Amino acid sequence: MNGARWLVQALRAEGVDTLFGYPGGAIMPFYDALHGSSLKHVLVRHEQGAAFAANGYARASGRVGVCVATSGPGASNLITGIADAMLDSVPMVCITGQVGTPLMGTDAFQELDVFGMTMAIVKHNFLPRSVDDLPRVVAEAFRLARSGRPGPVLIDLPKDVQVADASHLPAHVPAEVDPVPQPSEPALHAALAQLALAQKPLIYGGGGIALGDAVDAFREFVEASQIPAVLTLKGLGALQDDHPLNLGMLGMHGSRAANLAVQACDLLFAVGARFDDRATGKLAEFAPHARVVHLDIDACELGKLRFADAPVAGDIATGMRRMQAAAAAHLHGRHGPARLAWRDACTAVKAKTAPRYDAPGDGVYAPSLLRRLSALAPDAVVACDVGQHQMWVAQHWAFDHPRRHLTSGALGAMGFGLPAAIGAQMQDPSAQVICVSGDGSFLMNVQELATLSRYRLPVKIVLLDNQALGMVRQWQELFFERRYSEIDLSDNPDFCALAQAFGIEALHVDRAADVDTALETLLAAPGPALLHVAIDQNANVWPLVPPNRNNAEMMDEGGDADEATRLVAADDPDIAALQAAAAQPVARRAHVPQAVSAQAAPASASTQTYTGDAAPVPAFAPSPRIPS
């Protein structure tokens, strides 16, 4: 029994059944230990594919995704996928080989300071220099990845530790996940007090809902309180797509109803959301009339970008359940009629601003195709790449659960889609997994077609090809005077021939009339298959909140960024009313803790000492160096 064999047994004890990786020099003892073990190893064709596949596995399942690479280039190739997991709070354990400890620090072959390089993109990392460290390190790595706000943990494993005698080590015992921090009674009380004052409350739900296993509690709260909800990119599916109170996604490419409601509401109840700039638009003008209640498991998010009148740190599901009855009772309170009128105003605007799918012309209209595919495969897990197609998926796919939507939200990493789909398929071979990609993103990890083919995973790829880097092209058209710089992809390969070269069935569609047949053929394919869809290069994503504008200033097709942008015909009384409410002068103080004054900081939810505005204490003698 050496360290590597002990580690393989420990991974089994942690419940790992599948690894994604690529072998190499410094990780060879581990691969030797894998040989003949019961762990399933998926050989990718680039380490970035391993990290994204483990990432997709974790997102779809909620379990820890595990990826493996060798030292040096193997480890550095993982980095984008690890960073993506960090920014989107995905539980992963990443194992990298390292040169032997005697060689570390000597610029040895394939030596990189992976421990140092990844420090900023992991929840924590470990560099066990002795085989005796392994039990603690492995237990802590999995505990940390799973606990609280999840995230990636890296173990950089020197080769001599892998081959060291481990026969004296005990069998691995997984560590208990940290108890979930519970919201305090005073914080919940304060939140309910704010809710009770609201006549126009709105829920702003994010990715934390799924991460906290709070989907059911969230839905029950919405139902009981009858408060309309907007969702972030990662929150999509937390409320059923067709739920009357689901106003859709907010933000840069958010729905008209969601963005107008946010700008008009008088109370914003942020649930597992973090006021990301793509969601808020111009932060200083975001939800300008609203007081904020903010519920999140991570106290760091409370007041980080927007002052919270009632910050609540702790478990989202518990918070929602504990507030549900009181929030429902508000409907019978003095603001009950106003609440219901607000709800009805929001849902009326939603109905009147719903997307239309009757695009003119014979060509394929991507939103229409995606909506149709969503109806044909309602239970599918969808892995997106990044760009226009990603936003069309967010806008037009009818997600019924957040774990069915795998998207690189915070990092926005092109190349995510195909390997993430592979990971999602590995975690549930019976799932219908669809990868929606663009011609730019697809070529970033196209080598994973070999992985798809090798394991005969029945992933269906929908490749929306506009022969351009579409989102960049759209911005150059709108904000850079149509100076199209390096976005032309008109010399794309023949994607069908490419897929077929990997042994993957492929078909092509370029006419709207043929879309239904093409989609049905795609879904009926028994194994992996690719549908290449030629779309109009000039098709853009609408609506669009231009940079540094507030979310009510949405551009629509034919709009002008300079005139920004009252998109919807204001002759409709319901829409005009919501627009007018959003545009009212702001009577209250500035809400953004002007990035940020100490006075604006919310009360600490931590048990640590924070003296706030207490009398200053004298600074101690400065020391220019860190002591050795």
Single-letter residue type at 368: S
Distance CA 31, CA 68 (A): 9
Question: Would you count residue 120 as binding other proteins (CB under 8 A)?
Answer: yes
| Sign of the alpha-carbon dihedral angle for 329, 334, 339, 345 | positive
State the nearest-atom distance from the C-beta of 610 to other proteins, in Å.
6
Distance CA 385, CA 463 (A): 10
State the nearest-atom distance from the C-beta of 303 to other proteins, in Å.
7
Distance CA 100, CA 122 (A): 23
Question: Would you count residue 105 as binding other proteins (CB under 8 A)?
Answer: no
Span 430-459, contacts to other proteins by CB under 8 A: none
State the nearest-atom distance from the C-beta of 461 to other proteins, in Å.
37
Question: Would you count residue 360 as binding other proteins (CB under 8 A)?
Answer: no
**Of the residues 9, 14, 30, 47, which is catalytic?**
47
Distance CA 7, CA 100 (A): 17
The span of 40-48, 462-470, 480-488, 588-596 binding other proteins (CB under 8 A) equals 588-596
Question: Would you count residue 618 as binding other proteins (CB under 8 A)?
Answer: yes
DSSP for 266-323? Answer: SEEEEES----HHHHSSGGGSSTT-EEEEEES-GGGTTSSS--SEEEES-HHHHHHHH
Per DSSP bridges, beta strands 201-205 and 152-158 are: unpaired
Question: Would you count residue 284 as binding other proteins (CB under 8 A)?
Answer: no
Per DSSP bridges, beta strands 201-205 and 291-296 are: unpaired
The span of 219-227, 256-264, 292-300, 478-486 binding other proteins (CB under 8 A) equals 292-300
Burial of 531 (0-12, 13-18, 19+ CB in 10 A): buried
Q: Give the residue with the Cβ less far from other proteins, 315 or 439.
A: 315
Distance CA 588, CA 585 (A): 9
- Site size toward other proteins (CB under 8 A) is 45
Burial of 171 (0-12, 13-18, 19+ CB in 10 A): exposed
**Of the residues 471, 474, 476, 555, which is catalytic?**
471
Question: Would you count residue 617 as binding other proteins (CB under 8 A)?
Answer: yes
State the nearest-atom distance from the C-beta of 90 to other proteins, in Å.
17
Question: Would you count residue 624 as binding other proteins (CB under 8 A)?
Answer: yes
Q: Give the residue with the Cβ less far from other proteins, 251 or 593.
A: 593
State the nearest-atom distance from the C-beta of 103 to other proteins, in Å.
17
Out of 119, 340, 354, 375, name the contact with other proteins by CB under 8 A. Answer: 119
Residue 432 annotated in active site: no
Question: Would you count residue 124 as binding other proteins (CB under 8 A)?
Answer: yes
**Could you give the residue ranges of the DSSP H alpha helices within 480-541?**
495-501, 515-524
Distances (CA, A) of 187 to 191, 434, 508: 6, 42, 56
Q: 502 with 530: CB under 8 angstroms? A: no
CB under 8 Å to 507, separation ≥6 — which residues?
Answer: 496, 518, 521, 522, 529, 530, 531, 532
Beta-bridged to residue 435, according to DSSP, are: 383, 461
State the nearest-atom distance from the C-beta of 276 to other proteins, in Å.
16
Structure tokens at 560: 């002008």
Span 300-319, contacts to other proteins by CB under 8 A: 300, 303-304
Question: Would you count residue 589 as binding other proteins (CB under 8 A)?
Answer: no
**Of the residues 110, 324, 447, 537, which is catalytic?**
110
**Of the residues 20, 98, 115, 159, which is catalytic?**
159
Neighbours of 238 (CB within 10 A): 29
Out of 115, 342, 416, 495, name the contact with other proteins by CB under 8 A. Answer: 115
Question: Would you count residue 89 as binding other proteins (CB under 8 A)?
Answer: no
Question: Would you count residue 179 as binding other proteins (CB under 8 A)?
Answer: no
Residue 47 annotated in active site: yes
Question: Would you count residue 513 as binding other proteins (CB under 8 A)?
Answer: no
The helix (run of H) or strand (run of E) holding residue 258 is helix 256-264
Question: Would you count residue 598 as binding other proteins (CB under 8 A)?
Answer: yes
**Could you give the residue ranges of the DSSP H alpha helices within 377-407?**
388-396
Out of 125, 162, 225, 280, name the contact with other proteins by CB under 8 A. Answer: 125
The span of 41-49, 124-132, 179-187, 387-395 binding other proteins (CB under 8 A) equals 124-132
The span of 72-80, 111-119, 182-190, 341-349 binding other proteins (CB under 8 A) equals 111-119
User: Do you know the residue count of the chain?
Assistant: 628
Residue 176 annotated in active site: no
State the nearest-atom distance from the C-beta of 599 to other proteins, in Å.
8
State the nearest-atom distance from the C-beta of 141 to other proteins, in Å.
10
- Helix (H/G/I), strand (E/B), else coil: 168: coil
Question: Would you count residue 621 as binding other proteins (CB under 8 A)?
Answer: yes
Binding site for other proteins (CB under 8 A): 115-116, 119-120, 123-125, 127, 129, 140, 144, 298-300, 303-304, 593, 595-598, 600-602, 604, 606, 608-614, 616-627
Catalytically active residues, by annotation: 47, 109-110, 159, 471
